[in-house]
Structure 1
Amino acid sequence: MDDPRLTNPTVPSTAPTTRDGTLARVSLLPWALFLVTLAAAAFLAWKLWQPEDIGDPLATSLVAFEKQDKLTVFSAELAPVVSSDDARLFGLVKSKQVAVIPARVDYTVNLAKVGRERLAWNAPDQTLTVRLPPLTVSRPNLDEARAQYLRDGIWISREAQDKLTRDNTRLAEAQAVQQAANPVLMELARGAAKEAIRQNLSIPLQVAGYGKAQVVVTFDQ
């Protein structure tokens, strides 16, 4: 007689595994349907509420400029060192004064000169290019209250001292103008201007609906 253990080998059942997989697929189905429904609803809502025209980016930028006339973008503290000589009584009485007079200069951009012709909008890239007029450097503001003086002379009259001070003030202002035009300071001021303009225009563009807008700033050559 055949051994039933040989003719009927035990085969491991795969039913539990198949059932678990089926249950897993069935349990994911409601979530998948929910996500599809949510995505469809979101798309329909976006199409319903999306404005057909979110505005002219150039007009938006010009409005932002109109709110500001001249924009101060950079300030520099300078310290001109100057000296003046004075001679009186046929050159017999000589005096000299050395002065260090702190000065401040401001670098500004005249936004009133920025019209539509200085703006360019690249719609595919959402890039706004702005061409600014040259920077304007203010007249130096001398702080004579903090000035330091060194005088040399056997005798310095009041008239001679006043003349030395006036001459040093004039020389300090002229020297401050030269220092303000230093290429290093001018480059720092241009960099500050570009950053200020980018910040001033990026926010209005984002509010107008251009969330990915970029602003590129250049200067007249």
Structure 2
Amino acid sequence: MADDLKTETPEIQPEVRREQPLARIQAVPWLIVIVLLAAVAWLGWRAFFYQEEGDPVGSAMLAFEKQNSLTVFSSRFEVVAESVDRRGVLNLDLLESRQAAIIPATVEYRLDLSSMDRDRFAWDEERETLSVILPPLRISRPNLDEGAQKTFTEGTYVSRDASADLARNNSQQAERKAAEFAKNPQVLALARQAAKDAVRQNLAIPMQVAGYGDVSVEVRFDGEPAPE
């Protein structure tokens, strides 16, 4: 009877755990960091240094890609302006004053690089020469240094209003004269030559870095004949 009431106790199997090596667990974050750094380095190289092989024009355009405008020349000169003010009563000029001013002015000459598309570049593989055609120079509005101007005033009595009118007229006159002087053929020639030199320098060095060697860069403006 006792044998019939005997119960069997189920065996409890111990749970087996496989612990991963500590070195492997610690290496996972470092592997992720290395992969991320490699990805960032590749993206940076792709964005800033990669160019199609055998495409010197693409390399040249890449040198201008980050620049919308390039200041190539600055001219500083003095402009002389003279104004006369007459004031009176009943159409009679009782008071007359005159003021002459010597005003320093600065004008900048810029290249608009945003219009430099592929049609403005040509590569001569045989001569290892890159030809570049530049758009016309843009001339800035004259910047008058009125704080450094010299004035000479004549008149028996110069009222405050007359002095203000003389100064305003001289400033307007000086700006017009400065704009005209900026278009002087001799000054323009200097600015255009400075632009060519700047473009040669900005292209020759990046082309060498890109692996094209000692490349010649020929630069001319719209309308100028190509060199023979």
Tell me the TM-score normalised to structure 1 length: 0.75
**1:26 is matched with which residue?**
none
Task: Quote the residue 1:160 is aligned against.
Answer: 162
2:84 and 2:54 map into 1 onto residues whose CA distance is 65
Q: Which residue of 2 aligns with 1:69?
A: 68
1 or 2, which has the higher helix percentage? Answer: 1
For 1:161, what is the secondary structure of its paired residue?
A: helix
Q: Aligned AA for 2:199?
A: I
In the alignment, what sits opposite 2:33? none
Q: CA deviation at 1:209?
A: 1.3
CA shift digits 1:122-171 (9 cap, x unpaired): 01111000000001110000000000000000000000000000000000
**How is 1:1-221 mapped onto 2 (pairs within 5 angstroms)?**
54-89=53-88, 90-221=92-223
Shift, 1:78, TM fit: 1.4
User: What CA RMSD, in Å, does the superposition of the two structures yield over aligned residues?
Assistant: 1.0
The aligned amino acid for 2:67 is: Q
Q: Do the aligned partners of residues 55 and 204 (structure 1) sit closer, same or farther apart at CA in structure 2, a change above 3 Å counting?
A: farther
Q: Which runs of 4+ in 1 moved over 3 A?
A: none
Distance 2:100 2:118 in 1: 51
**Aligned residue pairs: how many?**
169
- Match for 1:163: what amino acid? D
Contact 1:55/1:208, CA 8 A, preserved across alignment: no
1:20-76 alpha-carbon deviations (Å, 9 max, x no partner) = xxxxxxxxxxxxxxxxxxxxxxxxxxxxxxxxx744111111111112111000000
Letter in 2 for 1:199: Q
d(CA) in 1 for partners of 2:174 and 2:60?
Answer: 40
CA shift, 1:204, in A, is 1.2
Q: Structure 1: where are the runs of 5+ without partners? A: 1-52
Length-normalised TM-score, structure 2: 0.73
2:69·2:110 contact (CA, 8 Å) conserved in 1? Answer: yes
Decide whether the 8 Å contact of 2:204 with 2:214 is kept in 1.
no
Instruction: Report how far residue 92 of structure 1 moved.
Output: 1.1
Q: What is the CA–CA distance in structure 2 between the aligned matches of 1:86 and 1:154, rounded to whole Å?
A: 12
Q: Percent identity?
A: 48
